Structure 1
């Protein structure tokens, strides 16, 4: 018989495992796509499967891993604009998660796929709005608003979300404990 404290520790461990696994997965994506960390996809997956605090931790660590990958491996230059965009991406990553969680606050009990789609849409919009705000300051408004680029990014992040969702459920089926769910947070 496990105690309530042991149960909370094991739930915390499961969330930590998923934060680390998804951070690694996003780093691999960053390497493969040269700077395209799938923050909206991560935000949606976190909003559906994790407590808000864990999801925000995931977004912060994924952002940090992305920046370390960019500056240390991909050779980003240290200059004012790259530093500005690093800050902008941090705000956008957290904003994406906040948008995804906010969209799901009233959807408990709906299907997981519907919740994931709604969280993804909200996370993507929140992410792009923050990027737009930073592009006004740092340049690139036309690129940020380009419909072809937006569509490619939406589809690419959506495909990554499907892959991460399959990875999550495949690993859970193999015995990796599920992340500490949102239902427990209520």
Structure 2
């Protein structure tokens, strides 16, 4: 990785991190972890992408427990842990799909794989703590729509930044390795 590429990756990671903090605070319980995991898989190398997913989850939990007053009990903490595990597994799923398919199908398929993997991890966590009532088709559909909107917005932001500030953000959507 060249110095310019490393700087672009660092700046992009900072932009995604800032959007994660804003999203966690503004949208509270419906943060688009699958969308963020997919964008990280598409645009960052394995180490930076995984670190971003963990940092995003951490920021979400800090905002939730400190500013949003999430209950400090075992089921809530367990849900938080399953969110983190699901986001990381979603990142791995997105990277796996991206390695096997070509664009533009790969991006949509990667988001779908990340979403299904993320939701499955949360569901497994919820089975252990009795909270599966939030997995209705209407709720899952709303969460999927939220992730799709965030995904499109983050892709648009990436395209805007790479076109208007190529020296700072690089010139390509994919910077994976």
Q: TM-score normalised to the size of structure 1?
A: 0.86
Instruction: Using the TM superposition, give the Cα deviation of residue 138 of structure 1 relative to its aligned residue in structure 2, in angstroms.
Output: 1.7
Partner Cα distance (2:164, 2:30) in 1:
29
Instruction: Using the TM superposition, give the Cα deviation of residue 20 of structure 1 relative to its aligned residue in structure 2, in angstroms.
Output: 1.6
Q: For residues 49-71 of structure 1, what are the alpha-carbon distances to aligned partners after superposition, in whole Å with 9 as ceiling and x for unaligned? A: 22122211110010011011111
Alignment-derived partner of residue 99 in structure 1: 93
Partner Cα distance (2:114, 2:90) in 1:
4
CA RMSD of aligned residues (A): 1.6
Contact 2:70–2:76 (8 Å) recurs in 1: yes
Partner Cα distance (1:13, 1:64) in 2:
23
Pick the structure with greater CA Rg. Answer: 1
Whether 1:133 and 2:133 are equivalent positions in the alignment is no
Alignment-derived partner of residue 59 in structure 1: 53
Q: Which runs of 4+ in 1 moved over 6 A?
A: none
Q: 2:153 aligns with which of 163, 169, 173?
A: 163
Alignment-derived partner of residue 116 in structure 1: 107
Alignment-derived partner of residue 29 in structure 2: 35
Pairwise mapping of residues 143-182 of structure 1 onto structure 2 (< 5 A)? 143-144=134-135, 146-175=136-165, 176-178=168-170, 181-182=175-176
Q: 1:81 aligns with which of 43, 52, 75?
A: 75
Give the secondary structure class of the aligned counterpart of 2:169: coil
Instruction: Using the TM superposition, give the Cα deviation of residue 12 of structure 1 relative to its aligned residue in structure 2, in angstroms.
Output: 2.2
Instruction: Using the TM superposition, give the Cα deviation of residue 180 of structure 1 relative to its aligned residue in structure 2, in angstroms.
Output: 6.8
**Please, which runs of 5 or more residues in structure 1 have no aligned partner?**
1-6
Give the secondary structure class of the aligned counterpart of 2:2: helix
Contact 2:42–2:174 (8 Å) recurs in 1: no
Counting matched residue pairs gives: 173
**Please, which runs of 5 or more residues in structure 2 have no aligned partner?**
none
Give the secondary structure class of the aligned counterpart of 1:90: helix
